[in-house]
A and B are shown apart, each in its own frame.
Chain A
Amino acid sequence: MSGGGVGAREVVQLVDEAHREFWSTVLASTVRLTRDIDLAEDCTQDAFVQALRTWPDGVPTNRAGWLTTVARRLALDRLRRETTLRRKLPLLIEDPAAPGDDERPTDPLRLVFTCCHPALARDSQVALTLRLICGLTTREVAAGLLISETTAAARITRAKKKIVAAHIPYRIPADDELADRLDAVLTVVQLVYTAGHVAAGPELTRADLTGRALELARLLVRLMPTEPEPQALLGLLLMTQARGDARVSQDGELVLLADQDRSRWDARLLAEGVSRATAALQQGRGRFALQAAVAGLHVTAPSWETTDWHQVVRMYDAMLLSWPSPIVALNRAAAHSLVPGADLDAVLAELDALGNEPALKSYSYLPAARADVLARLNRPAEAVKAYDEAIALTINEAENRFLQRRRAALL
């Protein structure tokens, strides 16, 4: 304990910080003891409440340790009281191979892999990760994902029930399945970031979700320091984050990467992003390493025009080889259109070939990209029609206004 009392406001702030930083550690360690997620959540929550009450008398030096001890003690008390009832409840499957000491640094990682288990629906994985790893309340999860509180609660409850009833194990996957399972985890983190970044509705970003996603990525890097893909994801998110302010003009309009004032990019975030991406690329060419490479090519170019578009196209080609996806093909076509002297008719054919992809049916970027190429081919009437399609599909108001402006410029 540090000596003397601390002001009430300062304590609230300290507990708040501890909540963001240690929630998953405390919960994960308590889950291993109770093998019951709901009980562990209650006790973890109560430990933070106790901190608010007792830290004014002295803040512990090891806050994570203090919170874990309190949460586990509360859990043991309740387990003792409720033994007869509990004995009948189905419990989480423990990993018999894991060591049995109290402080296991890998606990949060097991919780992450359990939340992102492929047997859970993707929507549930995202909601459960926000709830269990980030410690968001159901209301915050709902607000972040723009779903009703009832829907958020239903997703979380259904997922928790399935974890227990289907015996989804509480463990880190074995080496032979780690790559696939890790990809699912990273995808969830990227979805959390995207949900915050391209938020629907009046605001372009919801800082809380993007911030949470960055914290999740940092947590994964810390927990799996030798894996290149979490490092690549963190680099990718940092480079996207660095451009955040420049994405919106003074009067709240969306500014595309091409038109952004690069001096407004956050140099500190960029530097970290680029160095993380470079480190990851030296170790492998996974899906996120290649995405980070594309982002790196953008942010290290002095201007949009001088971007190494050849290299960008090459990175998308590498992605398509291992992860064929219509969205990657769309990005590839858009990059291809920017290679100096590109054959725009060929690009248009590339885009038209994607027209029947079900995955792109409600994706505003496809008609927006077609509109841009058509305008450059001097076919304004068709370009206007394509902008109309894009406008009908976008759910983001700033993006909508941007498309309207581009469309108006053609008339």
Chain B
Amino acid sequence: MAQYMFLLFDSEDWYDRVTAEEFQSQMKLHTAFAEAVEAAGAGILGGEALERSSTASTVKQNNGQPLVTDGPFIETKEALGGFYVIECKDLDQALALAKLCPSGNIEVRPVMDTRSGATPPA
């Protein structure tokens, strides 16, 4: 089994106009996604929705003189709005599951093996 992080990038304008009902039905899509993952024999190891990127703060280490700035590290049109950590067979299964994920843009990143004795990535 391999592990992947799904980074969900979406337009935040949605939050400006979303109604309570629409928000609930979006959450139901995530419940359905979780069921689909389980049904595929894969698993969700973790995941959260994130508050808007306007609530983010960034700490830059700045050569020993840490600098705190307002906002996300990278400003993009579609902001990072949530994530999942998925355990599944291989990249093909991860990509198949990402296609079911209720988000407009999903970056799929393999999780690095950092158990004791692991080698640095090639």
Residues on A close to B: CB < 8 A?
88-90, 93, 117-119, 161, 164-169, 173, 177
Complex-state Cα separation, A110 to B95, whole angstroms: 18
- Interface size for B (C-beta < 8 A) is 15
Question: Number of A-B pairs whose CB atoms are under 8 Å?
Answer: 36
Q: A93-B2, A164-B122 are in contact. List 20 more A-B contacts (CB 8 A).
A: A88-B117, A88-B118, A90-B122, A117-B91, A119-B91, A161-B121, A161-B122, A165-B110, A165-B121, A166-B91, A166-B108, A166-B110, A167-B2, A167-B91, A167-B94, A168-B90, A168-B91, A169-B90, A169-B92, A177-B92
B92 A173 Cβ-Cβ under 8 A = yes
- B95 to chain A minimum Cβ distance, whole angstroms, is 7
| Closest partner residue, chain B, to A90 (CB atom) | B113
- B96 to chain A minimum Cβ distance, whole angstroms, is 8
Q: Which residues of A contact B95 (CB under 8 A)?
A: 118-119
Complex-state Cα separation, A169 to B108, whole angstroms: 15
Q: Out of A88, A93, A165, name the residue touching B89 (CB < 8 Å).
A: A93
Q: Which residues of A contact B117 (CB under 8 A)?
A: 88
Q: Which residues of A contact B89 (CB under 8 A)?
A: 93, 169
- A34 to chain B minimum Cβ distance, whole angstroms, is 15
| Closest partner residue, chain A, to B113 (CB atom) | A90
| Closest partner residue, chain A, to B117 (CB atom) | A88
Q: Which residues of B contact A173 (CB under 8 A)?
A: 92
Q: Which residues of B contact A177 (CB under 8 A)?
A: 92
Q: A90-B113, A119-B95 are in contact. Are A167 and B118 (CB under 8 A)?
A: no
Complex-state Cα separation, A166 to B110, whole angstroms: 5
What's the dominant secondary structure at chain A's contact region?
Answer: loop
| Closest partner residue, chain B, to A88 (CB atom) | B119
A165 B122 Cβ-Cβ under 8 A = yes
Q: Which residues of A contact B113 (CB under 8 A)?
A: 90
Q: A90-B113, A119-B95 are in contact. Are A167 and B119 (CB under 8 A)?
A: no
- Bitwise interface map of B from 102 to 122 toward A, beta carbon under 8 Å scored 1, else 0: 000000101001000111011
- B61 to chain A minimum Cβ distance, whole angstroms, is 26
- Bitwise interface map of B from 29 to 72 toward A, beta carbon under 8 Å scored 1, else 0: 00000000000000000000000000000000000000000000
Complex-state Cα separation, A166 to B95, whole angstroms: 11
B119 A93 Cβ-Cβ under 8 A = no
- A192 to chain B minimum Cβ distance, whole angstroms, is 24
Complex-state Cα separation, A16 to B118, whole angstroms: 41
Complex-state Cα separation, A166 to B89, whole angstroms: 11
Complex-state Cα separation, A118 to B92, whole angstroms: 10
| Closest partner residue, chain B, to A87 (CB atom) | B117
Complex-state Cα separation, A89 to B92, whole angstroms: 21
- A118 to chain B minimum Cβ distance, whole angstroms, is 8
Q: Which residues of A contact B94 (CB under 8 A)?
A: 167
- A31 to chain B minimum Cβ distance, whole angstroms, is 16
A93 B90 Cβ-Cβ under 8 A = yes
Q: Which residues of B contact A164 (CB under 8 A)?
A: 122
- A82 to chain B minimum Cβ distance, whole angstroms, is 13
- A173 to chain B minimum Cβ distance, whole angstroms, is 7
- B17 to chain A minimum Cβ distance, whole angstroms, is 31
Residues of chain B in range 82-103 having any CB-CB distance to chain A below 8 Å: 89-92, 94-95
Closest CB pairs A-B (n = 7): A169-B90, A167-B2, A167-B90, A93-B90, A166-B110, A88-B119, A168-B91
- Bitwise interface map of B from 1 to 17 toward A, beta carbon under 8 Å scored 1, else 0: 01000000000000000
Complex-state Cα separation, A93 to B89, whole angstroms: 9
Q: Out of A88, A89, A161, A169, name the residue touching B91 (CB < 8 Å).
A: A169
Q: Which residues of A contact B118 (CB under 8 A)?
A: 88
Complex-state Cα separation, A177 to B89, whole angstroms: 16
Complex-state Cα separation, A89 to B117, whole angstroms: 11
Which residue of B90, B94, B95, B121 has the most chain A CB atoms within 10 A of its CB atom? B90
Q: Which residues of B contact A169 (CB under 8 A)?
A: 89-92
